[in-house]
Amino acid sequence: MSSKIARYYPLIPVYAAYLILFLIGRNVTGMWQLMAMLVFYCAIGQAFNIFLGMTGYVDFGYVAFMGIGTYGMALSISHLYQIEGLGMWVILIGAVLAILMSGALSVAVGAVALRLRGAYFAIATIGVNEGFRFLIEGAKIWGGSEGIIFSGQFTHIFGRKTASLISTTWADIFVILVACLGAFVTLRFMLGKIGYALMALREDEDAAKVMGINVTKYKIIAFITSASLVGLVAAFAWGLKLTYLFPDEIFDISYTVECIIIVLLGGAGTLLGPVAGALIYGLSKYWLTIILPGFQLLIFAPIIIVIVVAFPEGVVGVLKRRVRGTVLEKFIV
């Protein structure tokens, strides 16, 4: 029994990091927004890691799942606000809708693009977010390019005070919970049969096939899981928090790039990696914006190049090798 529990020890540092971020945010004045941003980066990193980290496939259209997840929340609130007594349930419905919609989109994208290998998959997915944005804008689906502004309906449901509490506090707490869920799912995958299948296909897809692994099935499972998780993150972090959405903002490719940076920086395929990557990326972005506003990207690019060259396995990848054979080995995966 104790060895079974010991398999879950790697969650401790991850959850400890989230708890520390939460406590700093609650107790240090003016820190909540920064902590919320860091947790948001942790959450999207964790979600993206399930796909990129475990399969080795890069999806450049990843932000499309965040966009569609935000629509899930927005549609739920803007359409159901007149139903009396729905209260908190409207958020749950929005969350479920976000998971279903991003999951469905990932099935559609995956069914086509996952037939391609490696770099070809990456190229095929580049256009997904732009294509989807133009579809919404051009066909005037869900308000077209005007987006959905649902702050009015939102206050109508909850009243001014509760609505503002949800937006400023609970939305971020929900993101923390999704980040916890993401870490748990990642570890479950790693410990289970699926983890071995994904590891094998990441290293050599042909060899994995020859071992009797249904590679397509596992790729699609990882893809759907990753997409629905990030859809859920965006539903809270963008939908619930901002209570409006504009297609050109939520389909912005820079979030995909941020996901990639976070995962590679921290260590692709590791559990703690996305957290480490998110903290390093988020904090340096924050400080650089303060110290040298406007120059942060210019400075950030070479820093990332240096880190990727110096630690190709990411920070946690290096750490993992260092702690091999020590007590810490059980905690860092």
Contacts with another protein by CB under 8 A lie at 193, 196-197, 199-200, 203-204, 206-215
**Cβ(247)–Cβ(67) under 8 Å?**
yes
Cβ at position 202, least distance to another protein in Å: 9
Cβ at position 224, least distance to another protein in Å: 19
Task: Using the minimum distance from each CB to another protein, give the nearer residue, 133 or 202.
Answer: 202
Task: Using the minimum distance from each CB to another protein, give the nearer residue, 123 or 210.
Answer: 210
Task: Using the minimum distance from each CB to another protein, give the nearer residue, 211 or 291.
Answer: 211
Task: Using the minimum distance from each CB to another protein, give the nearer residue, 17 or 213.
Answer: 213
Residue indicated by tokens 């290293």: 203
Cβ at position 214, least distance to another protein in Å: 4
Task: Using the minimum distance from each CB to another protein, give the nearer residue, 203 or 248.
Answer: 203
- Alpha-carbon gap, residue 25 to 183, rounded angstroms: 21
Cβ at position 55, least distance to another protein in Å: 14
Task: Using the minimum distance from each CB to another protein, give the nearer residue, 41 or 189.
Answer: 189
Cβ at position 208, least distance to another protein in Å: 8
Cβ at position 264, least distance to another protein in Å: 16
Q: At what angle do helices 63-80 and 89-113 cross, to 10 degrees?
A: 150
> Torsion-angle region of residue 147: left (phi > 0), alpha (psi -120 to 50) or beta?
left
Q: Which amino acid is at 117?
A: R
**Cβ(141)–Cβ(135) under 8 Å?**
yes
